[in-house]
């Protein structure tokens, strides 16, 4: 293996890893605070990608700007989903753990619904567009500008959210809910407010990521589920409920997948991804950072 | 009438009608029933494991597909019914293999793990087709008559319903329901929960494998993305939950109802149908978590009180 290959894998792996990270942070936020595994997370990515695609092909709006609209739209969908499907059952239940199974099935229904609504409206064709395709050379590797800008935005969003969690009072309350929901309520924090906020942020991050990946990956109504499964691998790598872990896990998985694709075929990348997933679940259920978050 | 006699009075005539149907019904109805029977077997076998133990498995397509691939590999070298048996056994073997590590994991981890496993198996078969066979997709020729499919599915449907019935009404079933109720407590009482879960997982996969082996030849064109389609898993889960997962009757009703709806307008408007299915699942979980049978049972109890 030459040095140049290593730098190519490093750069491509890290750029895609940043996108994985922002997807996984959103998914992990819902699990960390509410013990909900959102299997429809990837379908928000799909919606965000279509939003950016249509805004670009019809109105020539830069996907970097439509990413903001996508995030706002995602947040609204998140708030509606929470209000309609979860607010009442969360108010009634004594322990969020008892909702784990049923909330997963509700998200499952949402996944089927969103995927087929997208098929009805937009059909099953592969769609894509060219934007910022010129490349800059980093360490001898040409990197397309669209990938680079997407990665920078993704990692900036992740870090901003992490700093928000660490530095602000509201962020502290979110972390408190992740650590112990009952104790948080005991000290008088309105957990309902935190839940609705987390739904908004998680859905917004997914839709934003969708707008970003639409610049260099093709779009179909089916792109959601593979992203969701990838994000599950990342949050399990980084530890469920551990936001910083998701960032690290995303970068790591991006590197591994890029390396596997470089030396074998894309088909093997899926297999390696699921093998990592299964092995981590079985042998390192607390994630690679190994910190208990509950 | 005792409940047992009443149950026999319902199921024996249904079975007799089904057995004699090819004598007077047209080919269309036989095809329709083949589809219904396929979903009935899959959702009843799903219920035996997931309904009874509360471990929601999203690996239906994996077990169904492994059975189907036994047909792809062995047909027409071996007789059809031997392939069916081998298809079931291959799925069961796979279930037992992955079950012993996976079944130690609980809750949402387990659900995601099974969904991931199903995709993993799909990609392994895709690579197998590309690397070993050189093409993706196989056309299976020389399929037997519709009646052969029909009767083999009936035999398996009766077997799986009987298994679901006897498992539920035995000490074995009691152990499974105790896992659903409170696994720690069951273990503390001396129930070897891992062994019970593993055995049930295997039985459930056995029937899914039988069905896959049969349907592969019926569908004639097989490729990994058709046979390991997550939609198969989705529909089986929704059928079982729609009917109710406490015994074998629920999934039969759920599968029949949804297949008929799908026949009525799912073929002309597939996306509308699937979108409706998604909404159905959401509403079921929110308002009718015990399914149609559970809702009927509740209505009866209310009527008795008033």
Complex ipTM more than 0.85, yes or no: no
Residues of A in contact with B278 (CB under 8 A): 109-114, 116
Q: Are A27 and A42 in contact (CB under 8 A)?
A: no
Please check whether residue A252 lies inside any domain of the structure.
no
- Backbone phi, psi, residue A219, to 5°: -115, 130
Question: Residue A94: pLDDT above 70?
Answer: no
Chain segment A35-73, per-residue pLDDT in tens:
888 989 999 999 999 999 999 999 989 999 999 999 999
Which range, of B102-116, B184-198, B247-261, averages the lowest pLDDT?
B102-116
Which range, of A64-78, A241-255, B100-114, averages the lowest pLDDT?
B100-114
Inform me whether the C-beta atom of residue A68 falls under 8 Å from chain B C-beta atoms.
Answer: no
- Backbone phi, psi, residue A119, to 5°: -65, -40
Please check whether residue A176 lies inside any domain of the structure.
yes
Please check whether residue B225 lies inside any domain of the structure.
yes
Residues of A in contact with B241 (CB under 8 A): 105
Please check whether residue A67 lies inside any domain of the structure.
yes
For A182-197, what is the mean pLDDT?
A: 86
Please check whether residue A126 lies inside any domain of the structure.
yes
Taking the CA of residue A159 and the nearest CA in chain B, the distance in Å comes to 27
Which of B80, B74, B57, B38 minimizes the C-alpha distance to B203?
Answer: B57
Q: Are A208 and A157 in contact (CB under 8 A)?
A: yes
Contact B280 A225 (CB under 8 A): no
Chain segment A14-28, per-residue pLDDT in tens:
999 999 999 999 999
Number of residue pairs across A and B with CB atoms under 8 Å? 111
Domain that holds residue A132: 25-222
Please check whether residue A148 lies inside any domain of the structure.
yes
- pLDDT > 70 fraction of chain B, expressed in percent and rounded: 99
Question: Residue B288: pLDDT above 70?
Answer: yes
Contact A274 B120 (CB under 8 A): yes
Please check whether residue A152 lies inside any domain of the structure.
yes
Contact B271 A225 (CB under 8 A): no
- The DSSP bridge partners found for residue A135 are A144
Domain count, chain A: 1
Which of A65, A77, A62, A48 minimizes the C-alpha distance to A211?
Answer: A48
- pLDDT > 90 fraction of chain A, expressed in percent and rounded: 44
Mutate to test the interface with A, among B50, B56, B98, B120 (most CBs of A within 10 A): B120
What pLDDT is recorded for position B215?
Answer: 95
- Stronger pLDDT, B45 or B1, i.e. the higher one: B45
Q: Are A76 and A139 in contact (CB under 8 A)?
A: no
Taking the CA of residue B14 and the nearest CA in chain A, the distance in Å comes to 33
What pLDDT is recorded for position A294?
Answer: 40
What pLDDT is recorded for position A92?
Answer: 75
What pLDDT is recorded for position A293?
Answer: 43
Inform me whether the C-beta atom of residue A268 falls under 8 Å from chain B C-beta atoms.
Answer: yes
Residue of A nearest to B55 (CA): A101
What pLDDT is recorded for position B296?
Answer: 82
> Would you state the torsion angle of the CA atoms of residues B82, B87, B90, B91, taken in this order, to the nearest 10 degrees?
-150
Residues, chain A, total? 294
For B264-271, what is the mean pLDDT?
A: 80
DSSP output for A164-201: HHHHSHHHHHHHHHHH-HHHHHHTT--HHHHHHHHHHH
- Stronger pLDDT, B112 or B79, i.e. the higher one: B79
Each as own residue / partner, the long-range contacts of residues B252-255 (CB below 8 Å, 24 or more positions apart, any chain) are B252/B40, B252/B43, B252/B44, B252/B161, B253/B292, B253/B293, B254/B43, B254/B291, B254/B292, B255/B36, B255/B39, B255/B40, B255/B42, B255/B43, B255/B44
Taking the CA of residue B151 and the nearest CA in chain A, the distance in Å comes to 33
- The DSSP bridge partners found for residue A141 are A138
Q: What's the alpha-carbon Rg for chain B, to the nearest Å? A: 19
- pLDDT > 70 fraction of chain A, expressed in percent and rounded: 95
Q: Are A106 and A85 in contact (CB under 8 A)?
A: yes
The rounded mean pLDDT for chain B is 88
Q: Are B204 and B49 in contact (CB under 8 A)?
A: yes
Question: Residue A208: pLDDT above 90?
Answer: yes
Please check whether residue A258 lies inside any domain of the structure.
no
Please check whether residue A79 lies inside any domain of the structure.
yes
Q: Which of A104, A267, A282 sits opposite B126 (nearest CB)?
A: A267
pLDDT band at B207 (very low <50, low <70, confident <90, very high): very high
What pLDDT is recorded for position A3?
Answer: 58
Q: Are B59 and B110 in contact (CB under 8 A)?
A: no
Residue of A nearest to B105 (CA): A282
How far apart, in Å, are the Cα atoms of A181 and each of A187, A235, B11, B155?
Answer: 10, 20, 50, 52
Residues 6+ apart with CB under 8 A from A198: A29, A30, A33, A34, A174
The pTM is what? 0.84
Q: What ranges in A60-190 are assigned the alpha helix state H?
A: 63-81, 87-92, 100-122, 145-167, 169-179, 181-186
pLDDT band at A4 (very low <50, low <70, confident <90, very high): low
CA dist., res. B55 & res. B49, Å (int): 7
Please check whether residue B306 lies inside any domain of the structure.
no
Chain segment B167-177, per-residue pLDDT in tens:
998 888 888 88
Domain count, chain B: 1
CA dist., res. B48 & res. B54, Å (int): 10
For B97-109, what is the mean pLDDT?
A: 83
What pLDDT is recorded for position B133?
Answer: 78
Mutate to test the interface with A, among B59, B286, B289 (most CBs of A within 10 A): B286
Measured between its terminal Cα atoms, the distance across chain B in Å is: 23
Which of B100, B95, B85, B62 minimizes the C-alpha distance to B152?
Answer: B85
Please check whether residue B217 lies inside any domain of the structure.
yes
Inform me whether the C-beta atom of residue A108 falls under 8 Å from chain B C-beta atoms.
Answer: yes
Question: Residue A158: pLDDT above 90?
Answer: yes
């Amino acid at each position: 293996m030459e040095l140049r290959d290593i730098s190519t894998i490093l750069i491509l792996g890290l750029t895609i890893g940043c996108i994985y990270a922002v997807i996984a942070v959103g998914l992990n936020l819902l699990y960390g605070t509410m013990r909900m595994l959102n299997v429809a997370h990837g379908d928000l990515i799909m919606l965000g990608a279509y939003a950016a695609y249509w805004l670009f092909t019809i109105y020539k709006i830069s996907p970097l700007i439509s990413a903001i609209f996508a995030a706002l739209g995602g947040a609204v969908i998140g708030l509606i989903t929470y209000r309609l499907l979860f607010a009442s059952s969360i108010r009634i239940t004594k322990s969020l753990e008892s909702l784990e199974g049923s909330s997963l099935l509700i998200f499952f229904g949402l996944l089927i619904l969103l995927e087929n609504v997208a098929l009805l409206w937009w059909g099953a064709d592969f769609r894509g567009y060219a934007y910022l395709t010129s490349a800059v050379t980093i360490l001898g590797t040409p990197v397309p500008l669209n990938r680079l800008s997407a990665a920078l935005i993704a990692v900036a969003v992740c870090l901003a959210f992490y700093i928000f969690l660490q530095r602000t009072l509201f962020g502290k309350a979110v972390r408190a809910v992740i650590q112990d929901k009952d104790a948080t309520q005991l000290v008088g924090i309105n957990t309902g407010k935190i839940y609705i906020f987390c739904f908004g942020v998680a859905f917004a991050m997914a839709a934003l990521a969708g707008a970003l990946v639409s610049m260099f990956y093709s779009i179909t109504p089916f792109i959601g589920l593979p992203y969701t499964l990838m994000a599950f691998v990342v949050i399990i790598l980084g530890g469920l409920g551990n936001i910083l872990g998701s960032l690290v896990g995303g970068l790591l998985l991006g590197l591994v997948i890029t390396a596997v694709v470089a030396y074998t075929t894309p088909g093997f990348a899926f297999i390696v991804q699921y093998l990592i997933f299964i092995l981590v679940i079985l042998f390192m259920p607390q994630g690679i950072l190994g910190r208990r978050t509950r | 009438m005792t409940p047992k006699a009443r149950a026999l009075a319902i199921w024996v005539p249904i079975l007799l009608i089904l057995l004699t149907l090819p004598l007077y019904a047209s080919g269309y109805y036989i095809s329709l029933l083949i589809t219904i029977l396929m979903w009935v077997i899959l959702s009843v076998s799903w219920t035996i494991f997931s309904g009874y133990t509360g471990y929601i498995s999203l690996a239906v397509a994996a077990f169904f597909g492994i059975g189907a691939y036994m047909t792809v590999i062995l047909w027409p070298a071996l007789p059809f019914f031997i392939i069916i048996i081998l298809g079931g056994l291959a799925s069961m073997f796979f279930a037992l293999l992955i079950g012993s590590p996976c079944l130690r994991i609980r809750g949402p981890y387990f659900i995601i793990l099974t969904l991931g496993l199903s995709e993993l198996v799909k990609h392994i078969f895709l690579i197998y087709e590309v690397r070993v066979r050189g093409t993706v997709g196989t056309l299976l020729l020389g399929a037997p008559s519709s009646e052969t499919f029909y009767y083999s599915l009936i035999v398996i449907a009766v077997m799986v319903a009987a298994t679901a019935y006897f498992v539920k009404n035995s000490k074995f079933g009691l152990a499974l329901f105790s896992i659903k109720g409170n696994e720690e407590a069951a273990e503390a009482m001396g129930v070897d929960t891992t062994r019970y879960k593993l055995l049930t997982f295997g039985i459930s996969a056995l029937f899914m494998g039988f069905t896959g082996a049969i349907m592969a030849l019926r569908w004639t064109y097989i490729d990994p993305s058709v046979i390991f389609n997550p939609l198969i898993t989705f529909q089986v889960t929704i059928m079982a939950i729609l009917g109710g997962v406490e015994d074998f009757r629920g999934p039969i009703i759920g599968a029949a109802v949804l297949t008929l709806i799908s026949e009525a307008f799912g073929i002309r408007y597939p996306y509308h149908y699937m979108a409706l299915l998604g909404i159905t699942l959401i509403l079921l979980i929110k308002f009718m978590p015990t399914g149609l049978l559970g809702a009927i049972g509740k209505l009866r109890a209310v009527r008795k009180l008033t």
